[in-house]
Structure 1
Amino acid sequence: MGSRTAGIWWGTTIEAPDPSGLAKFYAELLGRHIGHEEPGTAIVAASPQGPFFVFQQADGYRAPVWPPAEGEQRPMVHFDFQVGDLDSAVAEAVALGATVAEFQPRGKVRTLFDPAGHPFCLCLDEG
């Protein structure tokens, strides 16, 4: 693929029943802005250099199940965000519309669900 720009990861596209609403959730969670919006698609600028998060309309959307269960919609990808204060970060995410998952596999990581049901993790920065 000689026409491809080497080493550039532009972003990740996530399906959602309400792409605009989910973009607003992540923009607020990450302190970023919505860089572009049109019917069925919204883009959150994750940082000035990228990567971007693109939220795309998905008709017939089924939220993934966490932890994964046989015969259910599996999480195909999830985000991990490093935070300095785990309890405060969880409280902030919940105030924005996230819910805390019942199953928590690790002590210094909290798994939550965004408003569309995608799991994401807040990971304590110990360094």
Structure 2
Amino acid sequence: MSRHDWWGLVLEAPDPRALARFYSELLGWEIAKADSDEAAIAPPEGVTYIAFQRADGYVAPVWPAQEGCQRITMHLDFEVEDLRAAVAHALELGARESDHQPQDNVRVMLDPAGHPFCLYLDGSTSSETH
């Protein structure tokens, strides 16, 4: 990570290394950094990353939103070629499907720490998801 044009996002998690492994396997990205308090993954080429930082007392967001519960402040979207296969792969890695699925060509998933992410087919959008 010696570049100066990196950009990315950071997700809080109770176990940053475990969440980095999950997304690394889901996306096929390499783990660029990992210790007990933070981890990061990056694609083979590009300038972006997803990082994970330890958050003691982490509370997973609830979706759809419920009064008095931790709300989602963001979610990740991943375009896939085969929605059924992508969902199966995510489930195999430890994700779970949300009970609420508002669109046919989008699957709202929850990672092992409870962060929502959407798998969608080309031409679909998940803007209605949240």
TM-score (norm 2): 0.88
- Per the alignment, residue 37 of structure 1 pairs with 34
- Residue 87 of structure 2, aligned match among 90, 102, 114: 90
Per-residue deviation, 1:95: 0.2
CA distance in 2, matches of 1:26, 1:44: 8
- Per the alignment, residue 108 of structure 2 pairs with 111
Q: In the alignment, is the contact (CA less than 8 A) between 1:109 and 1:121 conserved in 2?
A: yes
**Is there any run of 5+ residues in structure 2 with no aligned partner, and where?**
125-130
- Find runs of 4+ consecutive structure 1 residues off by over 4 angstroms: none
- Per the alignment, residue 69 of structure 2 pairs with 72
Q: In the alignment, is the contact (CA less than 8 A) between 1:109 and 1:123 conserved in 2?
A: yes
Q: How far does the alpha carbon of each residue in 1:41-86 deviate from its partner, in whole angstroms, 9 at most, with x for none? A: 0010134213100000000000000111111101111100000110
Per-residue deviation, 1:9: 5.6
Per-residue deviation, 1:39: 2.4
- Per the alignment, residue 120 of structure 1 pairs with 117
Q: How far does the alpha carbon of each residue in 1:91-125 deviate from its partner, in whole angstroms, 9 at most, with x for none? A: 00000000001000111000010000001000012
Task: Give the counterpart letter for 2:9 in structure 1.
Answer: T
- Per the alignment, residue 54 of structure 2 pairs with 57
Q: How far does the alpha carbon of each residue in 1:22-41 deviate from its partner, in whole angstroms, 9 at most, with x for none? A: 00000000001100112200
* Structure of larger gyration radius: 1
Query: What's the C-alpha RMSD, in Å, of the aligned pairs?
Result: 1.5
- Residue 16 of structure 2, aligned match among 14, 19, 27: 19
Percent of residue pairs bearing the same amino acid type = 51
CA distance in 1, matches of 2:62, 2:43: 26
